[in-house]
Amino acid sequence: MRGISRIVIAHSGSSAAGLRQPCGNTHLPERGKNLPVRILTNGAKSLINSELKIARMELKHPERLATPTDPQPAAPLAQWDGTLSQLLEIIVVLSLTGLVRTPDGRPMNLMEVATLFETMFGVEIGDLYGRKTRLLTRKKNESPFLESLLFLYRKEVEKVSL
């Protein structure tokens, strides 16, 4: 076994001292045209041994190396029957208010509020910032859906007031 060392304990007086002495041949490392092949072969052996250890561990403890499967996306909680532009008007305003917060109390940004609504309604907004820009640069009525909501709210207030 070339290159493997053993510990030899030598007594010197009352204390023991450990000395490393090589076993077998003490010549320099091998040289020649077969050295790269031997290096690659030894590397391949090490890799195969590592893979065998992993396979044995997986057989012995399958629960430790099991890869969790991706959970199915949650079903939408509700259905959105309006347009994406209408939904985006709500999302932009809610994110601007800072009233929608994460569980740790931090106000959600636009992307987080949009993701929340995408999950809740099972819709995909897509290019959120591009849509927001187009929404905010409308020439005619800037927020028709929000104005219609305000109209409906005022109408409801009038019913209660009477």
Phi, psi values for residue 17, rounded to 5°: -125, 135
| One domain for residues 96 and 33 | no
Task: Sort 119 into a burial class: Cβ within 10 Å, 0-12 / 13-18 / 19+.
Answer: middle
| One domain for residues 61 and 91 | no
Q: Is residue 78 part of a domain?
A: no
DSSP 70: P
| One domain for residues 90 and 60 | no
| One domain for residues 90 and 135 | yes
Q: Is residue 139 part of a domain?
A: yes
Where in the sequence is the domain holding 27, given as residue range(s)?
A: 5-65
| One domain for residues 33 and 102 | no
Residue with tokens 């057989």: 59
Helices (H), the chain: 35-60, 62-65, 84-97, 110-121, 128-136, 144-161
For 41-90, write each residue's pLDDT tens digit: 888 898 899 899 888 888 887 776 666 665 666 788 899 999 999 999 99
Whole-prediction pTM: 0.54
For 87-144, write each residue's pLDDT tens digit: 999 999 999 999 999 999 999 999 999 999 999 999 999 999 999 999 999 888 888 9
